[in-house]
């Protein structure tokens, strides 16, 4: 029977349209089948309520996002099941233009959760071919998938031109003594099942170290 070692915090990071939520749901389904306790915290579970309160993407908006995220993290710290796997999705990047938020600060919140639970943080960078990703982004499924999901290929091109996804060095540099692992996967030619399997195999290897 397929099994996994004790818990971890799993962060799927990538640009809009790369398939983060689809892969997260696939991971959730696999964990359900093998009776592993888990939580799926889609990024938009936290973003959508903030947009309803502070729709303008300014400092107040991003400050409120941080407060919502921290409230969720504090709640997850209190979950007593030691084998819990928490799956997050995010788009953490470094920008070449001034922005009213700090994605390194957001990453440190996830590190704090992992440290608080005494488990490793497994950071999965999901990469893609831009032209391929534009097609995914403009699909009807994507447009209908969530209130604040990006479905404009032009905006995606702007984002990817002015920002770069957090790299391995930046991710590992956020450790505070706990364990952080980094996996990079190109999803352009991978199926959801293939990506899911690669992530789970990596989790097993990390938990044996």
- pLDDT tens digit sequence for 92-139: 998 766 666 789 999 999 999 999 999 999 999 999 876 665 565 555
Mean pLDDT (the chain) is 84
Residues 34/111, Cβ–Cβ less than 8 Å: no
Beta strand pairing call for 163-165 and 93-95: antiparallel
∠ CA 100-104-108, nearest 5°, is 125
Q: Whole-prediction pTM value?
A: 0.85
Give tens-digit pLDDT for 15-24. 888 889 999 9
At residue 5, the pLDDT reads 58
Using alpha carbons, select from 86, 61, 60 the residue that is nearest to residue 6.
86
- Percent helix, strand and coil across the chain, each to the nearest 5: 50, 15, 35
List the CATH code of the domain at 8-207: 3.40.50.300
Give tens-digit pLDDT for 50-62. 999 999 989 999 9
Helix H or strand E encompassing 105: helix 103-117
Q: Is 92 helix (H, G, I), strand (E, B) or coil?
A: coil
Using alpha carbons, select from 62, 114, 67, 64 the residue that is nearest to residue 88.
114
Crossing angle of helices 153-162 and 130-137, rounded to 10°: 140
């Amino acid at each position: 029977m397929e099994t996994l070692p004790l818990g971890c915090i799993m962060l799927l990071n990538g640009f809009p349209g790369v398939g983060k939520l689809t892969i997260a749901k696939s991971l959730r389904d696999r964990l359900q089948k093998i009776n592993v306790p888990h939580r799926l915290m889609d990024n938009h579970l936290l973003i959508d309520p903030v947009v309803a309160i502070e729709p303008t993407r300014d400092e107040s908006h991003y400050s409120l996002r941080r407060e919502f995220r921290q409230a969720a993290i504090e709640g997850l710290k209190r979950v007593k099941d030691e084998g819990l796997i928490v799956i997050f999705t995010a788009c953490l990047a470094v920008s070449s233009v001034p922005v009213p938020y700090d994605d390194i600060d957001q990453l440190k919140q996830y590190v704090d959760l992992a440290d608080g639970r005494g488990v490793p943080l497994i950071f999965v960078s999901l990469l893609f071919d831009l032209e391929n990703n534009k097609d995914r982004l403009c699909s009807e499924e994507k447009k209908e998938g969530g209130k604040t999901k990006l479905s404009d290929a032009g905006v995606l091109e702007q984002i990817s031109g002015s920002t770069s996804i957090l790299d391995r060095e930046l991710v590992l540099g956020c450790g505070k003594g706990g364990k952080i692992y980094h996996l990079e996967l190109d999803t352009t030619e991978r199926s959801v099942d293939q990506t899911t399997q690669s992530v789970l195999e990596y989790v097993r290897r990390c938990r044996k170290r």
